[in-house]
Amino acid sequence: MLSDRLRPLLTGTELPAAKIVRAMSAAGATTAADLNKATGLARSTISQALAELRDGDLIVEIETRSTGMGRPTMLFTLNPQAGRCAGVLLGLDEIRIAVCDTAHAVLSDRSIPIARDYTPADACAVIAAELSSDCRRLGFEVGELLGVGLAVSAPISPAGVVLAGSILPTWDGVDLASVFGSNLHCPVHADNESNCGALAEMTWGAAIGEPDFVLIKFDLGIGGAIVVNGGVQRGFNGSAAEFGHLTLDPRGALCRCGNRGCLETMAGATQLLKLARDTTGHDVSLDSFICEAIEGHVGYRRLIEDAAAIGGWCLGLIGTALNPPLFVIAGGLARTNELFLDRLVQSYERHTLCKSALLPEGQRARFAVGRFLANDTVLGAVALVLHQQSRIA
Amino acid sequence: MLSDRLRPLLTGTELPAAKIVRAMSAAGATTAADLNKATGLARSTISQALAELRDGDLIVEIETRSTGMGRPTMLFTLNPQAGRCAGVLLGLDEIRIAVCDTAHAVLSDRSIPIARDYTPADACAVIAAELSSDCRRLGFEVGELLGVGLAVSAPISPAGVVLAGSILPTWDGVDLASVFGSNLHCPVHADNESNCGALAEMTWGAAIGEPDFVLIKFDLGIGGAIVVNGGVQRGFNGSAAEFGHLTLDPRGALCRCGNRGCLETMAGATQLLKLARDTTGHDVSLDSFICEAIEGHVGYRRLIEDAAAIGGWCLGLIGTALNPPLFVIAGGLARTNELFLDRLVQSYERHTLCKSALLPEGQRARFAVGRFLANDTVLGAVALVLHQQSRIA
């Protein structure tokens, strides 16, 4: 089976072919020149290894791009038949499962409702059954998967333990490896959902080819990711980039994390929906809230603008501390585009140390809305396997 | 001349000997095992290259350490005769010059007074003359130096241009390469003074062997450095880790950077000295302020404790964003030890996301007072050359 030959190259050796396979798995379709940059291998070594991989059916030439003058550029990708990866989002009341091939095509992506406060064992049973059925529908067995990535709404320790602060409170302290390790019959990777979102944007979205950026996700909660030199920074115990818990007012509202005045207590959509309900007297979903704001609801627009002003203050802090070249703005509030983004950037400029107006054009931080505002997390869980990151079992 | 043979290995090729020389230059005395970790070269390759370097007098065995059982461990260092490096601090009213050898011994370190608001040309003339005289006194010519490092109290762009926010306002926008490049007759390196401080702590001080840490310097101003995987993070335009300019209160006092309510306006020693003078009616130097606080001056102690509480809030923000394993606390206020540090750590724990009390012992952030509270900056300027970082000319 092709996947049996691909697997050891993805996970193992320092052979040139293995380095090339891992670079392609992370980057998707790529040129020999890009492989040279990514692996540091000599051109001649790359040519030879590509020829061997092509002869073994592990890679394919998918396209020739004409660059105007001179010879057209060859693009190489892993053979889509050679391996598939799955991603799973452990949501509040849904489990979402996506399957991709190693050429980065999404083969399936669907959501399965599950009762709130589900246990790890419940989740594992649902995932094992549904993933098997997805794989069979796609014409292969679950055991052929190169791996399953799990996206969790909590900081995850390097060993795969869920740390405090999860949106799934019953999961605090759960050892993901012992729950999922033996039941999914393939390697398991796991990471915080915002880190997964950053991987998705690196692989398919707003941060392709960007080795350094910061992602911040404004949704019901607020999370983030820091990417340095192509790698997601997880920090000492896995809790880096928890921007939603930056303390802006030490005497502010009590946050679910136990601190006071966190960004999330002021600009998280949960708080905006609460403020809306306090005045209107009826509940509104995040989707409706956003749609009505886009259509012109004055009060909802005001709540989003004020959240953007506070969010921009926080981006200003992050800019002063990290000075990244790119901010990717993700999450539901980003779906309102200019309404949220303009005020956010304006407030960033007000509060950060280096003002764009005083910098040469090439040195100004850029802002991009994430490409995947609805499914970045589950795609990022797939990308954990493609990038061979955060393996726990 | 030995230095003529060392120079190309320090700056150039990917030969094993060159990789070893660069690792030794950064790390000082080191074992073959450490070289294996630092360079990734095979043990046999390292042994062979070490033998060649020793035969060529470029390295020496300086010591054998007994590790109790088994064979003693050999320590290798670059031959101190093979090269010297200089570091220069461009201070407010002094220019400080230090000279070290490649074995990391400090050969001279002295301060030359200079009138405030000196120009780049003034500084260059003083440095060229004084450095020549230091080198001659030490028995060699200035042209034999492997390089000169410059530490500047401002963010520096990767191309060596002084960005806004310098304590030397007349230096804004100065291109350091064009001022110093041709006049010092050797390679020139330049970086922000806090980044230099972090290099000094990595090379000789509180962060030896720590690939990841955050340094924060509480002095007349407040600066910092972020070190990831052994490298100082400079950010997109060179302004990363400017922790003194984290905006804590958007309606607070106007800061010299043009923003309001920066950490520095609340906890910088300049502000503490101003508050002291407002009440006592007389000026006090930072040195006297610190000494009197240590001796028990109630008001001065209170100002330092309150600065520590606000500084700890900022460390909490940094902890939530970066989750580093180690904070190195530098600068004059750190000389008060527990007085400042206890309150700082207490406030950090209060405001950061992951509380030490809830983490296993090995996952708690550590705090260390910097080793060089008086001369970290000038030693760090030397270390720019030893680590071959931030070369501008």
Tell me the residues of A at the B interface, defined by beta carbons under 8 Å apart: 155, 157, 163-165, 212, 226, 228, 233-243, 245-247, 250, 257-259, 313, 316-318, 320-325, 350-351, 353-355, 358-359, 363, 365
Query: Which chain A residue's Cα is nearest to B243?
Result: A321
In this predicted model, what pLDDT tens digit does every residue of A250-268 receive, in sequence order?
Answer: 999 999 889 999 999 999 9
Contact between A313 and B250 using a beta-carbon 8 Å cutoff: yes
d(CA A19, CA A10): 8
Instruction: Indicate which of B353, B355, B363 best probes the interface with A, i.e. most A CBs within 10 Å of its own CB.
Output: B353
Q: What SS3 state is found at A168?
A: coil
Does the beta-carbon distance from B165 to A322 stay under 8 Å? no
B195, B226, B266, B323: best to mutate for the A interface, most A CBs within 10 A: B323
Q: Which residues of B touch A (CB under 8 A)?
A: 155, 157, 163-165, 212, 226, 228, 233-243, 245-247, 250, 257-259, 313, 316-318, 320-325, 350-351, 353-355, 358-359, 363, 365
Contacts of A376 (CB under 8 A, 6+ apart): A196, A197, A200, A201, A205, A217, A330, A370
CA–CA dist A228, A212 (Å, integer)? 5
Q: Classify strands B231-232 and A366-369 as parallel, antiparallel or unpaired.
A: unpaired
Give how far A199 is from chain B: nearest CA, Å: 18
Q: What is the mean pLDDT of chain B?
A: 90
Amino acid at B42: A
User: Tens digits of per-residue pLDDT, B65-93?
Assistant: 555 566 667 788 888 888 899 999 998 88
CB B94 within 8 A of CB B114: yes
* Residue B170 CA to its chain's centroid (Å): 23
C-alpha to C-alpha distance for A31 and A124, rounded to whole angstroms: 39
List, for residues B252-262, the tens digit of each pLDDT value. Answer: 999 988 999 99
pLDDT for res B164: 67
Residues on chain A touching B321 (C-beta within 8 angstroms): 226, 240-243, 246, 317-318, 321-322
Q: How many angstroms separate the most distant Cα atoms in chain A? A: 69
- Left (φ > 0), alpha (ψ -120 to 50) or beta: where does B388 sit? left
* ipTM score over 0.85, yes or no: yes
Length reported for chain B: 393
Least confident stretch, A163-167, B9-13, B80-84, B298-302: A163-167
Nearest to A347 by CA among A297, A383, A312, A299: A312
Give the one of A157, A247, A322 whose C-beta lies nearest to B313's C-beta: A247
Query: Cβ A353–B165 below 8 Å, yes or no?
Result: yes
Across the A/B interface, how many CB contacts are shorter than 8 Å? Answer: 123
Angle between helix axes B43-55 and B16-27 (nearest 10 degrees) is: 80
Contact B235 A324 (CB under 8 A): yes
- Closest by CA to B176, choosing from B197, B193, B158, B194, is B158
Q: How far apart are CA B119 and CA B202, in angstroms?
A: 32
Average pLDDT value for residue range A278-290: 95
Task: Determine the distance in angstroms separating the CA of A191 from the nearest CA of chain B, rounded to an integer.
Answer: 16
Q: How confident is the model over A85-133, as pLDDT tens digits?
A: 999 999 888 999 999 998 888 999 999 999 988 999 999 999 999 999 9
Burial A209-234 (b: 16+ CB within 10 A, else e): ebebbbbbbbbbbbbbbbbbeeebbb
Residue of B nearest to A246 (CA): B317
- Are B202 and B226 in contact by the 8 Å Cβ rule? The answer is no
DSSP state of A208: T
Length of chain A: 393
Nearest-by-Cβ selection for B317 from A233, A246, A353: A246
Give the pLDDT band of residue A376 (cuts 50, 70, 90): confident
3-state secondary structure of B151: strand
B23 sits in which H/E element: helix B16-27
Distance from CA of A46 to the nearest CA of B (A): 19
Ramachandran region of residue B185, left (φ > 0), alpha (ψ -120 to 50) or beta? left
Beta bridge partners of A74: A64
Cα(B195)–Cα(A214) distance, rounded to whole angstroms?
Answer: 21
Gap between the Cα atoms of A333 and A300, Å rounded: 11
Q: Among all chains, which residue has been given the structure tokens 């009213």?
A: B93
Which SS3 state, helix, strand or coil, does residue B298 take?
A: helix
Residue B257 distance to chain A (closest CA, Å):
7
3-state secondary structure of A138: coil
Of A21-25, A326-330, A373-377, the one with minimum mean pLDDT is A373-377
Q: Which two tokens stand for residue B147?
A: 């390089």
Which residues neighbour A70 within 8 Å (Cβ) at sequence distance 6 or greater? none
Residues B143-152: pLDDT tens digits?
A: 889 999 999 9
| B207 residue type, one letter | A
pLDDT at A72 over 90: no
**Residues of chain A positioned with their CB less than 8 A from the CB of B363:** 157, 236-237
| Minimum Cα–Cα distance from B172: chain A residue | A358
Q: pTM to 2 decimals? A: 0.88
